[in-house]
Each structure stands twice: as C-alpha cells, then as structure tokens.
Structure 1
Amino acid sequence: MSYQPLLWDISAPLHASSPVYPGDTPYEQRWSATIGPDSAVNVSTLTLSPHIGTHADAPLHYDNAGVAIGAVALQAFIGPCRVIHALGCGPLVEWRHIAHAVSADLPPRVLLRTYASAPVDRWDAQLSAVAPETLERLADAGVLLVGIDTASVDPADSRELPSHQVLRRRGLRVLENLVLDAVPEGDYELIALPLKLTTADASPVRAVLRALA
C-alpha cells in the first residue's frame, strides 16, 4: 500500500523567477539590513504583485464596488473541499470534465486540477480556464469557493472576464495558481487564508490540504 501524506502543500514557490501575468509586478527581494556590525538581524523588503503565485482574488479585483481582500470573510477559505481532476480538458473546464466527481455530498469548496505538472517556472498563455456555466452549476450546488491550478479562471487573453463576473454575481471566492500535481482526487480539508490587506485586490496564500480523519 502506497503512503499518502497527512498534509499536502499546494502552494507555488515564490522567488524572482516566479511567473506573473505579462506586465504585472514580479517578485523582488532586497536586503535592507544584514547581520553585521550595524544590525543584529537580517531584514528584507519585498516588492510583488498580490496575484503572484498561489493567491486569493478579492471582489475588488473585478468590481470597482467590491471589497478588498482584508474585508472578505474567511469561512470560504477553510474547511472541507474536493479535488477534482480535469486533466486534458483543453481551454475550458466544462461540466462534462468534472461531472464524474460531483455528487450530492459535494463539499462547499472545489479545487480543479488541469495540469499534469503545474508550470511554476513559466507563464502559460494557453492556460485552462473555467467555463462560466461550470461556475454557475457549482454555485447552484452550494459551492462557496473554487480553486484552480492555473493563473486565472478566465482565458489569459480575455478582456470581458465572464468567469470572474460569475464569481462577482454569485459571491464565489477563488484561489488561483494552486499546485495539485501530487494530490489524488478526493476529499480533504482546505486551509488557505489570505492576509488582512485592507486595500488590496488580492493576497498571496499558503494553501495546504489536510487528510480527513
């Protein structure tokens, strides 16, 4: 019998080579103090887009009237979830790609795996997005949060952002840039809390899955 861990880290690594949406702010770290005669500690300064790596979008990201991430309730980001594999789905995750794993006991959080190996070292302009109809049906099923292992629930070149507009209209929360390569399909506990950034349109998260007892 193969060993399965009790905890899966599903967060993308963050460093200077981490991919970002073209034109967005990359990760940069500078040392403002280093241990030596003038400092007892190392202290760094970070510059980065809040959409780099694994992150949670705030309603403010796609709605001028939406709240910042620091004002979003945390309940959606912690609790039972289901990982569903949609490998080979093409440009959009349609309902037919996930129907095999949707049941009456569907947890209120769904994470979608589309990559055999997530491209944590490069920008993927051909990423798989989520069809708006898929999000609508998940919301109808009581889902509160949808996560995906790509950089966006909309196609990379989309300007209308129809799936983000479904998130807005249905009050869904979203996680993007998850790393689900090693996670078997099934049910887990999700813990992926955003920072309390009071004016920001998104927040990096350290997302983990815990095996259910």
Structure 2
Amino acid sequence: MERYNYSILFKIMTDSKKKRITKKQIESQLDKLYSHDTYCINLQNKEEFSNERHSVYGEITRHSVDGILDMFSKKFGKTAVFYDLGCGHAKMVSHIALKSKAKKVVGIELSKERYNKALEICSEIEFHGTQPAIINGNFLNEDLSDATVVYIDNTMYEPAILGHVVEKLPKGCLLIYKTGGMTTGDRFFPLNTSYNKKDRLPKDSLAAFWMCCASYRYV
C-alpha cells in the first residue's frame, strides 16, 4: 500500500511538470486569441439596445487586460474568482485564465451569437490551468456571491444597472467598470496608483482603458 501511494504521488508530480506552460507558450496562445476579429456595435444605434437586452459594444485591449490582471492578482492570487459581465467573445476571460492563477474565471453573455463565437474561440485555445466558463444568460439573474473581482462595461447600461450589480456582490469584491470618459485613440495608460499597506485602492482611483475610463472600487 505504501509503495502504491508513492507511485501515485510520483505520477501526480510528473503530470504536474508536464502541464507547466512557459511564458512564450502563453504569449503564443494570446496571439492566437487576439488574432480573431473584434466586434463593435455602432454607438449611433445605441438607442436600439434596451435595458432588457443588456447589449454592450467593443472590446478591451490586450494591454488593458494585463493592467487589470496586475491590479487584482497581487491581492487575490489563487483565491481570485473573476466575472466578466457581458463578456462578448470571451477574450478577457480567456486572457485571464491563461495568465493568472485565478481559482475561477467566468464570462456571462446574453447574445446567443456572441456566446457561440466565444465558445468557438475558447475551443481553439490551449488552457493549461484554469478553464474559463462561459454562460449564455442575463448577468442580473446569475449568482455572483462567490465573486472577488467583477468587470463590467457600464457605458451601454443605465446607471441603475450598475447599482443592481453592486447589490449582488459580496462584501470586499473588487468592481471594475468602464465609464463614458473618452480618450484619444487606442491607447493604454498604466494604473497611476499602487496598493497601500491595507492592499486597497482609493475608491475613485482612475485609469484610462480602451476609448474610455475605468473606475475601481471595493464594494
């Protein structure tokens, strides 16, 4: 029995080494991920999207996702449970699943078309750790009680929607949301704040992401 247990332990350790992925391999998978065309809903048609449809537009850039990762990885590490509300083609959740040690990564998308595309894209990516989960549904109806980090593009929703999201989040959850402040071009500005001794960001600290500003706060 003792020999058997050691054999199992050796196999687990060997398999673990086989599953390790290099930074070069991760970047290769990210290149594949971002080689897919982005989607965009014309802002001129914004009035066509009611609160019931919960449609969003555009995609955040690769560098911006890295900025978000740097921000929450230090605090939550392997305990992170990340949700992208309105995940589109699931590039952000795939990116975070590839580069972070998060325990759980979930994307929620209402549009069946974008959900199907997200599944297609995820099927092409080689995940060596956390596997992202993609849900086709309304994020206001989903259970977010285990979330530690939540991202939402708030530019296409009524202000009340963000309030409903906050009500669903557990205490201490980090909420990252995009506002309507415009920047010029596709540029990334790194976070201009750092964690203090209590590992908390100022409530209204700002950083600029793809075509808009992102606000961060703990609920």
TM-score for both structures, normalised by structure 2: 0.29
Structure 1 or 2: larger helix share? 2
TM-score for both structures, normalised by structure 1: 0.30
Larger Rg: 2
Structure 1 or 2: larger strand share? 1
